[in-house]
Amino acid sequence: MALPSHAYGQEGLEVVTDQHSSAFPEVQGSHDPEAYHTEHDPHAAPQSMQHAHQVLPVGYNKAAATNGAYQPGPTELDGEAAPKAAGRRRLFFILGGVIAVLVILGAVLGGVLGSRAAAASSNSGSGSAQGQQNANGGSNSASATDPPSTATDTSATSSATSSATPIPTLKSVRVGSQFAATGWRGQGFFNIWMFYQGPDDVVRYSTYSSATDDWSTPKEITSIQPMAGTPMAAAANLDSDNPSVELYYLNSNSMLRGQHFREGETSSTGSPSDINKFSYSMDKDTKLSAFWPYVLSQNKNGTFRWHRNDYSAGAWVNESILDAAASAHTGMTILPTAVQYLDTIGFLYVDGQGELSTYAPPKSDTDIQGWGSASGSTNVDVPLNNTSIGAFAYARKGNEINTHVLFQNADQDIYDVYQDDDSNTWKGPTTHDALSGADDGTSIGCVMEGLWYYSNVNMSSLTDMTRCYYQSQNKIKEVWFDGDTWKDLGFLPMD
């Protein structure tokens, strides 16, 4: 799939924030040593100190001061006034001392609290900036293998104040929307379609073409009536020279429905799919996954069902899979298991014990056995709390494939489990800076390029389409596996 400010706290520095600036706080010294300390030169001539005005205490006798003797002032010669004046002076001194102590304590306390607040602000800014630099590979320079940027870049966006800024709700995508992604290759280019649901329950989609390196603005599919929070799946159909995209969803009655898109033949809102001729009632809490000509769902008892188009006058075959049982509302993803795709299909899901598992239908001796040759557990634990799963594959050599499976762990980061060598063992889970920052409970949609044996379209070894999507800050983030590591491509453009 696809491409993807340091504010350091320093001892002895305090943060000074310009209320008219949105940039990182300016760091300046908390004191100037030159302003308060003058080095004494023992060989310098004595310096006289001149004062323009000097306040002398009551009772000070200038003449007597020359020999150190104390002479009483006029008020102290009054027999009754002197004790009263002395009492008042003592009271003034006591009150002055108390006030001075309070002022000093207030200043010290204010300084301590201010220093802690400044340090916290500085640490927060530097941590966010460091995380963003790591997400960009620690450098602002692009790799020679990087595809063009396809989404709004997040590397220039400071997150130092993100905790204090409310996360906006977008008009185009609802919080917790399910995602469905697909795409296909043309001659020297590729296209990606990404579907999601808005807060108004209208399903929308954005398209990307590598030929123009642009994402479209969201398009609304106003001709369908999906249920709120509908599951969605998408697949590219390459059975003709003009590829089509198939979207599958549930309507308000939990019936499986589809919408068909073919450039030049349908409007931007598509046309009804022939699967709508069949009354396939679904568990409203199921998730969906698709890879042409299959649509996968889960029955209420935890088993699976897939619907297959058998090309006989648009007929669909409804088949239950009874030898694979999963946790309730499991995430699932259906994938081709061979480079030469001819119904060589399988899927991944979370079993009842919370382990990522695979299912591959029985194959003939001539078929390549994907995912290590058998159905079963990957020995990777996955949260059971309705976790979404996304996956893609690309060719390795011969008819063998590399497979990557993404899920959200309990720490909310996205993790990758994969097979990438002849051992066909599952590795991971691992996470990366580019896979951090996901919203809790996000859907994960990954692009699996369309394939079709009869059209001579086999799985590519290229990794420019190996892209996945998940929700972050209520927006849709695009990440890309370049064949070596994950990269953050930013957010899809939408309001």
Question: Residue 93 pLDDT more than 90?
Answer: no
Residue at 469 is within a domain: yes
Task: For residue 223, name the pLDDT band (cuts at 50, 70, 90).
Answer: very high
pLDDT reported for residue 377:
86
The count of other CB atoms within 10 Å of the CB of residue 90 is 10
pLDDT reported for residue 65:
38
Question: Residue 190 pLDDT more than 50?
Answer: yes
Q: Do residues 170 and 133 share a domain?
A: no
Give one word for 427, left, alpha or beta, with left for phi > 0 and alpha for psi -120 to 50.
Answer: beta
Higher pLDDT, 21 or 382: 382
pLDDT tens track for 271-287? 999 999 999 999 999 99
Query: Which domain, by its residues, includes 96?
Result: 5-9+62-139
Q: Do residues 103 and 248 share a domain?
A: no
- Overall number of domains in the chain: 2
**Average pLDDT value for the chain:** 75
Task: For residue 101, name the pLDDT band (cuts at 50, 70, 90).
Answer: low
* Pair of tokens at residue 176: 């917790």
Q: What percent of the chain has pLDDT over 70?
A: 63
pLDDT reported for residue 166:
66
Residue at 91 is within a domain: yes
pLDDT reported for residue 197:
98
Residue at 37 is within a domain: no
pLDDT reported for residue 330:
94
Among residues 139, 158, 193, which one ends one of the domains? 139
Residue at 371 is within a domain: yes
- The DSSP H or E segment spanning 392 is strand 389-397
Q: Do residues 119 and 180 share a domain?
A: no
Q: What is the 3-state secondary structure (H, E, C) of 78-109?
A: CCCHHHHHHHHHHHHHHHHHHHHHHHHHHHHH
Task: Give the separation between CA 377 and CA 330, rounded to whole angstroms.
Answer: 15
Residue at 218 is within a domain: yes
Q: Do residues 468 and 348 share a domain?
A: yes
Averaged pLDDT, 154-183: 70
Question: Residue 297 pLDDT more than 90?
Answer: yes
Averaged pLDDT, 125-135: 37
Averaged pLDDT, 402-407: 97
Residue at 48 is within a domain: no
Q: Do residues 356 and 296 share a domain?
A: yes
Residue at 70 is within a domain: yes
Higher pLDDT, 452 or 133: 452
pLDDT tens track for 8-41? 333 333 333 343 333 333 333 333 333 333 344 4
Q: What is the CATH number of the domain that holds 323?
A: 2.120.10.70
Question: Residue 473 pLDDT more than 60?
Answer: yes
Q: Do residues 193 and 335 share a domain?
A: yes
**Whether the Cβ atoms of residue 179 and residue 444 lie closer than 8 Å to each other:** yes
pLDDT reported for residue 125:
38
Residue at 150 is within a domain: no
Q: What percent of the chain has pLDDT over 90?
A: 51
Q: Do residues 283 and 324 share a domain?
A: yes
Q: Do residues 122 and 178 share a domain?
A: no
Q: By mean pLDDT, which of 52-61, 87-96, 208-217, 430-439 is the weakest? A: 52-61
Residue positions counted in the chain: 495
Among residues 139, 155, 188, which one ends one of the domains? 139
Query: pTM for the whole thing?
Result: 0.68
Residue with tokens 């963003």: 132
In the chain, the amino acid numbered 460 is S
Q: Do residues 302 and 184 share a domain?
A: yes
